[in-house]
Amino acid sequence: MSKIRFATVWLDGCSGCHMSFLDMDLILLDLAPKIDLVYSPLVDFKTFPDQVDVTLVEGAVSSTEDEEKIRHIRRHTKTLIALGDCAVTSNVPGMRNTFKPETIMQHVYGDAPPVQVIPPLLPKSVPVHHIVPVDVFIPGCPPSADTIVKTLLAVLEGKPNPVPPRFG
């Protein structure tokens, strides 16, 4: 069996879901022979490759940069998995949605918000599936390592997904 081309992406989240992913500990050794990690904040590849079988997305879509990234990733990914509450519900990043982006920028940066480096905020921070189609949802803040590995193995082996856990 050829290796699954596998990627993980970190949008507007706290990286807790990636920590939970690493929390698989020894199971990572079982997973390693099955996957080829082609893009991730955990490795040093700079660009998202053309053909990826499975991508885990952590975080909500909050800026124009996030939106461009996720649209690009969707085009080049067969199975897109929303990992954790930020990707699934927009969660904590979405708590700014009752304020206007300009109000937030002013509150954080004062009268001279940066016009470079910091990507412009979208009007609202939204779940991944509100921008592009998502194939599998894993709620949780963060989802447990056990939940991630069970779902991932089901996807890799083409089996039905296990029952998703609760939000939060």
Considering only residues 38, 56, 73, 82, which one is a binding residue for another protein as defined by CB under 8 A? 82
Rounded-to-integer distance, Cα 13 and Cα 62, Å: 10
- Site map (CB under 8 A) of another protein, residues 36-55, x = contact: --------------------
User: Nearest approach, Cβ of 129 to another protein (angstroms)?
Assistant: 6
- Closest contact distance (angstroms) between CB of 27 and another protein is 23
Is residue 15 close enough to count as binding another protein by CB under 8 A? no
Q: DSSP alpha helices (H): ranges in the chain?
A: 16-22, 27-31, 64-75, 85-89, 101-109, 145-156
Rounded Cα distance, 10 and 66, in Å: 9
Please list the helix, strand and coil fractions of the chain in percent, rounded to the nearest 5, in that order. Answer: 35, 25, 40
Closer residue to another protein, CB minimum distance, 38 or 82: 82
49 close to 5: Cβ distance less than 8 angstroms: yes
Position 134 contacts another protein (CB under 8 A):
yes
Q: Which residues sit at the interface with another protein, rule CB under 8 A?
A: 82, 85, 88-92, 94-95, 97-98, 124, 126-127, 129-130, 134, 137, 139, 141, 163-168
